[in-house]
Amino acid sequence: MPDREAAASIPFLPYGRQEIGDTDIKAVVEALVSGWLTTGPRVSQFEQAFAQHCGAAEGVAVNSGTAALHAAMRAIGVRTGDEVIVPALTFAASANAAIYEGATPVFADVEEDTLLIDPASVKQRISPRTRAIVAVDYAGQPADYDALRQIARSRGIRLIADSCHAPGAIYRDRKVGTLGDISCFSFHPVKHMTTCEGGMCTTDDAEMAAHMRRFRNHGIDSDHRSREAKGSYAYDMAELGYNYRLPDVQCALGMAQLPRLDGWVTTRQKIARFYDRAFARLPQVAPLYTHSDRSNAYHIYVVRLAASLDRDRVFAALRAEGIGANVHYAPVYSHSYYRARGYAPGLCPVAERTSKQILTLPMFPAMSEEDVSRVVDAVTRATA
């Protein structure tokens, strides 16, 4: 392993990185001088383009993936006293959004081989208070939506797809973005495409889309542009909403990025195949399983280390070689905020056990073959 000084001179390979090119810069500059910085024509253009890309009827742009989840909770009618079932292994926002609306997250366990929400665990968690299930397309693979939809339909509850990891992925010939009653996306720089910060909800339900557009604008029934077009000043605030608007300048960036999304997903899949082949030779390192009826968009590339290895030691060894390994995630309920609310260890044994063995390795479209080989070599050394 290189010493500290040598390590400092090695370029750091982050676990994810955005791509910004000339077309992005041009689009942003055009928006900046267009006269519309926010709530202008680019918002609905981006919404339509993104929804069309997914095959959904409606897109609602918001200023983060978290805001998308919050808007989805409001649109499906999550209220104080409700329960929302969420996988234990996800980013905290998947669960936090339920709390924003006064509901209680109920954590479901994950499948051992994919770390996706386990439908059998979801079934066990359903109660008369369950209002919704949040499916998370962990790492980029769609959850088992047919099984989840069947559970949801039979109990009259809603299905929200937290697809922040999976734009461009496919489940049984159906595109991510059409798999839940509402699907939520993030355009944070580490995701597949970026608007700096940003997010989107997609749905086929026009009423829910209208509700989410109102919700992202303080609960007000019209926006500045539509009032200007009508020559009117009057508006009504029909419910308590938030300022979750995504500015025109950021929508311009989103529109410039969108045509490259599919190509980026293909490149991520190629990198994943390279990793898969290399790690097949390492008995101590197991990539997550991808089902043959799904395509994986690989937001992150996660491996599971043998229980005999010390994950934190491997992590430190990789970091010492300039490899930006990471961990996604500790179970959400292990965070102190959740512990203070009474969540205790033992709720989701698979998530708790596997979360101590997982490592996220660098994965972004601009990685060269040399970069990928460098990661493989470092993992080989660190796990020998």
Ligand X SMILES: Cc1ncc(COP(=O)(O)O)c(C=O)c1O
Active site residue 270: no
In whole angstroms, what is the distance from residue 199 CA to residue 67 CA? 7
Site string for ligand X, 158-187 (x = CB under 6 A): ----x-xx--------------------x-
Backbone angles phi and psi of 183, in degrees to 5: -115, 145
| Residues facing residue 285 across a β-bridge | 305
Identify which of residues 95 and 379 has a Cβ nearer to ligand X in the complex. 95
Identify which of residues 56 and 71 has a Cβ nearer to ligand X in the complex. 71
Identify which of residues 114 and 383 has a Cβ nearer to ligand X in the complex. 114
Instruction: For strands 158-162 and 170-171, give the pairing.
Output: unpaired
In whole angstroms, what is the distance from residue 2 CA to residue 320 CA? 7
Peptide bond into 145 cis (omega under 30): no
From candidates 18, 38, 64, 269, binder to ligand X by CB under 6 A: 64
Min dist CB 379 to ligand X, Å, is 23
Q: For the chain, what is the radius of gyration of the CA atoms?
A: 21
What DSSP state is assigned to residue 186?
Answer: E
From candidates 38, 39, 90, 267, binder to ligand X by CB under 6 A: 90
Q: Which of 16, 105, 9 is nearest to 364 (CA)?
A: 16
Identify which of residues 38 and 383 has a Cβ nearer to ligand X in the complex. 38
66 part of the interface to ligand X, by CB under 6 A: yes
In whole angstroms, what is the distance from residue 84 CA to residue 61 CA? 23
Min dist CB 38 to ligand X, Å, is 18
In whole angstroms, what is the distance from residue 9 CA to residue 322 CA? 9
From candidates 39, 94, 217, 360, binder to ligand X by CB under 6 A: 94
Min dist CB 259 to ligand X, Å, is 21
**Subset of 115-144 contacting ligand X (CB under 6 A):** 136
Min dist CB 66 to ligand X, Å, is 3
Q: Which two tokens stand for residue 312?
A: 């934190």
Find the part of the chain contacting ligand X (CB under 6 A) among 61-69, 117-125, 149-157, 347-355.
61-69
Instruction: For strands 158-162 and 182-186, give the pairing.
Output: parallel
199 part of the interface to ligand X, by CB under 6 A: yes
Q: Compute how many residues bind ligand X; rule: CB under 6 A.
A: 14
In whole angstroms, what is the distance from residue 161 CA to residue 182 CA? 6
Catalytic residue among 26, 175, 191, 230: 191
In whole angstroms, what is the distance from residue 114 CA to residue 42 CA? 37
Dihedral angle over CA of 273, 200, 187, 136, nearest 10: -50
| Residues facing residue 363 across a β-bridge | none
93 part of the interface to ligand X, by CB under 6 A: yes
Identify which of residues 164 and 305 has a Cβ nearer to ligand X in the complex. 164
What residue number has its CB nearest to ligand X?
65
- Asked whether 159 and 152 are in contact (CB, 8 A), the reply is yes
Identify which of residues 83 and 162 has a Cβ nearer to ligand X in the complex. 162
188 part of the interface to ligand X, by CB under 6 A: yes
Interface with ligand X (CB under 6 A)? 64-66, 90-91, 93-94, 136, 162, 164-165, 186, 188, 199
Catalytic residues: 191
